[in-house]
A and B are shown apart, each in its own frame.
Chain A
Amino acid sequence: MTPPSLSTRRSIRLVLALTSALALLIAPASAAERAAESRAKEQELIRILQSAAPAAEKAIPCKQLAIYGTPTAVPALAPLLADPDLSSWARIALEAIPGPAADAALRDALARVEGRLLVGVINSIGVRSDAQATDGLVAKLKNPDAEVASAAAIALGRIGSAAAAQALLPALSTTRGDVGSAVAEGLILCAERSLAGGNNAEAVKLYDAVRKANVIRPRIIEATRGAILARQSDGLPLLLEQLHSTETEFFRIGLRVARELPGRPVTDALVAELGRSSAERQPLVLLALADRSDDAVMPAVLKAAGSGSTDLRLAAIRVLEHDGDAASVPVLLEAAVDNDARLASAAKVALLKLEGPAVDADLLARLPQATGKTLQTLLELAAQRRLPAALPAVLRSIESPDPATRRAAIEGVGALGNEAQAADLVKLLAKTSDAPARGDLQKALTALCARAGTRCVPALLPLARHTDSELRMAGLHLLASVGGPEALAAVTRAINDADEAVQDDAVGLLATWPNNWPDDVGAAEPLLNLAKSGKKLAHQLQGVRGYLQYIQENKRLSDAEKVGQVKELLTLIQRPEEKRLAIAALGTLPTASSLDLLGTLANDRAVAEEAYLAIVAVAPSKRLTDVSPEMRRKALQLVLDRSQNNPTRKKAEGALNALK
């Protein structure tokens, strides 16, 4: 951005100075002090306005007079209404300053200014609702400048008096285009004022006049809305007329007003209308009806949810989702087992979201007698709504001959059961050979174990000892998910399982034994053993990785202690793959000994580049407090001199420069 010019800077300084002065002025003070300071400020602002200062320096003072000005300031502001640069600023003050002086200044300007400045003055008169300006505004209705005439019409509307309305009414038939629209708007504003004053008859008269006038469609729509509401309950026929209209805009305003016009007869009529509407319009009428608040609404919604077109039923179901209660359960259950997938899905969502104990009780009461798809739906709902009382009924269905029902029941046990049901599910798993069914059971067990934790271990141990390898692996995974010493022991034993696939699984579980880190400290020893004497290279690498993870995640160890344990590990490993894992761990542990160790590892050509990269991570670290700057530089210089990797050397160079 280019620097501001001298004059710009001057203007900015002025604004800042005034704003600062204002800030001082508005610092907390007593009301009396504030008043005195306001008067002083006003005098200063008036002085600026009456000076020969350029317009740029008078704009903000105008704005401040909106807050601090009194009638005293009006004579300084009034001449600015004719100034194209400052008129809008002056009106900010004159609109805000209370009292007749500002009104008079604006009225006087009606005869002094023209064009857009006059429009602005008229708008301000409208905002101030100055009834004394009525005659002047009426005269402007015939101004050849359409913007002036339009502004006058709307200002008269804002005044909203009987005189204003009487002046506007004849203009409705003599004006066209934008002015005609403004006259209509003015009359609508007058009607609102009448309505607020309790004069509904006058409001109806004005709204009807606009409705029947030759003005643009939006004004007629607004007047129609007003005409219905102003008639109150007598507005019903006019509302229904809109709902019957073949023109979209009128139908739409009908939908809007159907939500606003109060009264039971209106609701009853809308219910009847629902039955008469076209299939396309029925859902829209229903949604409007649903936004009303009386007792006649819900029966109609329930009826619509159970019969009619799919679209109507969908709309009704979605209303029940938010407004329904126990009375909605039957119709929703019926829809939930409908062959139309959209209906079934919407109904299930609604049944899930219905609130209250009465809904739960209703669903529970239906479970014992339910069959087929209804039973399946109820089982799913029991699980999703977390209804513990449903557990006995759910358990009765876990061996149902119907696969869908069985599956829903098993999912239900997973959601609702405890360690006792874990044993049931394990037994069922042990005698199930079907792969998808096993998957469902394992999923349910996983969910159940996630809640019950180590209390499930006794139920799971038999699975880990089963003769079927697949089940042993399933048991090991479930045990690993709950953790604890017994689970760890079972997984460790499985490293020597007769089946190689189980061994691999057990090694994988042990190497990623994160369940209760660092509480499961018992994982360290089997991991170290695995690193030292695993049956396969892959097992040993997993052991190294797992042990290093154990070290890094162990919050009980300091960085120095962790480096010590990595150092010990390094005495047991020879292969570059394992050393790289250790180097990566050292790179996260910024201590003097890790830097030293990395320097040594850098002499091993097979892992030198990994060591250089780790040195670049450790040497600049702010956590590295026990190493002199000289030692850091030396380590980084080593990397710069020896690394063959350009990105690593660039990092070393950057770190060295930062150290300088």
Chain B
Amino acid sequence: MNPSRPTRTPAAPPPPAGETSALTRRGFLKTTLQASAVLLAPQIVPGSVLGKDGGIAPSQRVVLGAIGIGNRGAYVLGCFLQEPDVQFVAIADVKAARRNAIKKLADTKYGNEDCATYRDLRELLARPDLDAVLIATGPNWHAAASILAAQAGKDVYCEKPCTKNIAESFALADAFRRTGRVFQAGTQRRSLPNFAFAVELAHRGKLGKLETLHAHPGGLGTSMSGWMAPETAPPNEEVDWDLYLGPAAWRPFNRRFLDGFNFEKGGGLTGGGCLEWGSHCVDLCQWANQADDTAPVEYEPKDGKLFARYANGTRLVLRNDGWLPLGSCPVRFEGDRAWVETADNGDLVASSEALLQGKGAKIGGYPADFHVRDFLDGVKTRGHTRANADIACWAHIACHAANIALYLNRKVQYDPRKNEFIGDEEANRLRSEALRDPWRV
């Protein structure tokens, strides 16, 4: 196979014509569910699954482990721990201080000393008692760890950005389809009512024909990851540098790389806001455009913005300014009749107040607990989560393709069906990047 023309690993037989809608239909079901996600999410699981009289039978508990838990991960883990049907039992982290802190948190909650600690995620994943894992390592490890977990028979909630490039995005979706495991990307805005309401307006035609979607990427810079001068590495027991590097190309220890949040974000292109925030706001635009199974076909950096276009003609604009003061991660959906804008403070603003009738209670601060609950429901029902691997795959591809256009500083055209940048060899080569041994996706 010519590596400049990678194709997806086939995973399942294509259903006959007219029957492809099993996932699509579920996607629609999810879409309609979103408008009332907050109220309804806890009700999705039938009572029998949750056990009787509020008590959780051991057989109905989701036994959870966590991999790479820092600040963000600790917040999401807190959302898991507040769910009565979660039993958290193990933490894997290459950094001793972090794994010890999480063990202390868990042991304090349960009043015992049972939380197991691991330096190597493979040891944690080998435990047969785990149903699911929370992965919040840092983007360098997200896809590789998620795929390892799926192959070990675990369901996965993974923080974003979930992948480092287009090839990893497909690999992630393929792995979860092949293994039948449940995946939830940490794009919790899919489970928040203000974003869901705005999307619902788009889906129900209240905005007219969708013309332009706006997303706030939080910066459009891209650059390559690098190599810094060696420093004396701490003992492996304190920081396992080899495991920390994981799938990233080798380089000597330098403590400035230990900021896992930013290390190798975006892989070959260290990414900037296109991945960090785009995995949220571009994802929301994909949802609004009912484009969860595709990505824009054209991307052009211009005047400090990134202009993209879907095959259905809808435009996607990534811009950093000109937003209403509604907080972080704003999105704006414009149709030929009306528009709506919303962001993290939970407010919605529309071209007409009448559009906002029935918007429901305001929930600001982008909490993740509804999204976590949706994941746990998926673990039990084996249904599709709101940010499942296929949805995450295409949202990330849209971000990576935008990043490639920004990096090359030129317009690129992308064929989502063939996974190919049209007539652009350099863009095509940026779709993937070799992983360091022994890792693979």
Contact = CB atoms under 8 A, between A and B. Distances in A.
Given A154-B440, A314-B46, A95 B228 contact: no
A123 interface: yes
Interface string B349-386: 00000000000000000000000000000001111100
Given A95-B432, A322-B33, A26 B408 contact: yes
Nearest to A150: B438
Nearest to B15: A262
B254 interface: yes
Contacts of A23: 409
Nearest to A1: B256
A562 interface: no
Nearest to B2: A98
Q: Give the interface residue-count category, chain B.
A: 35 or more
Contacts of B39: 349
A414 interface: no
Interface string B12-48: 1101100101110110010011001001100110111
A401 to B, nearest CB: 33
Interface in A1-38: 1, 4-5, 7-8, 10-12, 15, 19, 22-23, 26-28, 34, 38
Nearest to A256: B180
Interface in B384-441: 384, 407-410, 426, 429-430, 432-440
Interface string A311-335: 1101100100111000000000000
A341 B23 CA distance: 33
Contacts of A293: 19, 21-22, 25
Scoring A66, A147, A185, A257 by chain B CB atoms within 10 A of each residue's CB, the highest score goes to A66
A229 B13 contact: yes
A56 B227 contact: yes
A288 B13 contact: no
A241 B247 CA distance: 39
Chain A interface helix/strand/loop/mixed:
helix
Interface string A60-87: 1001101110000000000000001111
Interface stretch (A125-133, A506-514, A642-650): A125-133
Nearest to B379: A252
B179 A60 contact: no
Given A63-B268, A288-B383, A124 B434 contact: yes
A86 B152 CA distance: 30
B437 A218 contact: no
Interface in B167-184: 178-180
Contacts of A222: 178-180
A217 interface: yes
B3 interface: yes
Contact of A66 (B23, B47, B429, B438): B429
Given A8-B254, A95-B3, A283-B46, A288 B410 contact: no
Interface stretch (A190-198, A566-574, A606-614, A620-628): A190-198
A380 B136 CA distance: 46
Given A11-B228, A221-B179, A127 B438 contact: no
Interface stretch (A112-120, A471-479, A482-490, A552-560): A112-120
A292 interface: yes
Given A151-B440, A232-B13, A293-B19, A283 B48 contact: yes
A91 B47 CA distance: 52
A47 to B, nearest CB: 19
A382 interface: no
Interface in A163-200: 185, 188-189, 192-193, 195-196, 200
A162 to B, nearest CB: 16
B314 interface: no
Scoring A95, A102, A342 by chain B CB atoms within 10 A of each residue's CB, the highest score goes to A95
B236 interface: no
Contact of B381 (A7, A19, A255, A260): A255
Interface string B209-224: 0000000000000011
B153 interface: yes
B11 interface: yes
B229 A4 contact: yes
B55 interface: no
Contacts of A34: 426
B249 interface: yes
B250 interface: yes
A528 B176 CA distance: 72
B151 interface: yes
Given A120-B436, A200-B13, A232-B13, A292 B22 contact: yes
Please give me the 5 A-B residue pairs with the lowest Cβ-Cβ distance, nearest first.
A120-B437, A196-B10, A8-B229, A283-B46, A262-B19
Interface of B: 1-4, 6, 9-13, 15-16, 19, 21-23, 25-26, 29, 32-33, 36, 39-40, 43-44, 46-49, 128, 151-153, 178-180, 223-224, 226-229, 249-251, 254, 256, 268, 380-384, 407-410, 426, 429-430, 432-440
29 contacts: A1-B256, A11-B229, A12-B226, A15-B224, A22-B224, A26-B408, A56-B251, A66-B268, A66-B433, A89-B249, A123-B437, A123-B440, A225-B180, A226-B178, A232-B13, A255-B381, A256-B382, A259-B22, A260-B22, A262-B22, A287-B381, A288-B383, A291-B25, A291-B384, A293-B21, A314-B43, A321-B40, A342-B47, A349-B40
Given A217-B153, A291-B26, 20 more contacts: A26-B408, A26-B409, A59-B227, A59-B251, A64-B224, A66-B268, A88-B434, A88-B436, A92-B434, A95-B434, A96-B429, A126-B440, A192-B11, A218-B152, A259-B23, A284-B381, A288-B382, A292-B22, A293-B25, A294-B19
